């Protein structure tokens, strides 16, 4: 997503933040924090936001097509969130988006 060869330090830093939850499927920002970060990135750098969004959507769409059953049930809300954040009014059903 970020074109960085080793993101372990970044993930460790994120994991230590109070508004980040860590789970089996990755790191998840608190809903409000995620919405603020998205809005800020859209405002400060709309081209980078669009590029990151497209990468995330392509990744989760491919994952959704490669999985079935229980695994697919975990990926579907994330995929919906990626699509929902393109709405001008923001997310319609926030869910949790993995970082």
32-82 pLDDT, tens digit per residue, is 998 898 899 999 999 998 898 888 888 878 888 888 887 777 777 766 666
Say whether pLDDT at 31 is over 90.
Answer: no
pTM: 0.62
Domain hosting residue 84, numbered range: 27-99
Q: What is the pLDDT of residue 44?
A: 96
Q: Is residue 10 part of a domain?
A: no
Q: Is residue 64 part of a domain?
A: yes
Q: Count the alpha carbons within 13 Å of 18 in the hemisphere toward its beta carbon.
A: 0
Tallying the residues shown for the chain, one arrives at: 99
- CB within 8 A of 57, min separation 6: which ones? 79, 82, 83
For the record, the structure tokens of 37 come out as 């970060």
DSSP string computed for 37-49: HHHHHHHH-HHHH
Q: What is the pLDDT of residue 93?
A: 38
* Coil, helix or strand at residue 22: strand
Q: Is residue 63 part of a domain?
A: yes
């Amino acid at each position: 997503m970020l074109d960085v060869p080793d993101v372990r330090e970044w993930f460790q830093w994120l994991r230590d933040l109070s508004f980040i939850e860590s789970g089996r499927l990755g790191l998840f920002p608190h809903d409000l924090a995620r919405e603020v970060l998205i809005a800020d990135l859209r405002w400060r750098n709309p081209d980078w936001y669009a590029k990151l969004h497209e990468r995330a959507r392509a990744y989760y769409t491919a994952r959704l097509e490669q999985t079935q059953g229980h695994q697919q049930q975990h990926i579907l809300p994330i995929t919906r969130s990626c699509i929902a954040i393109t709405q001008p009014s923001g997310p319609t059903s926030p869910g949790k988006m993995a970082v």
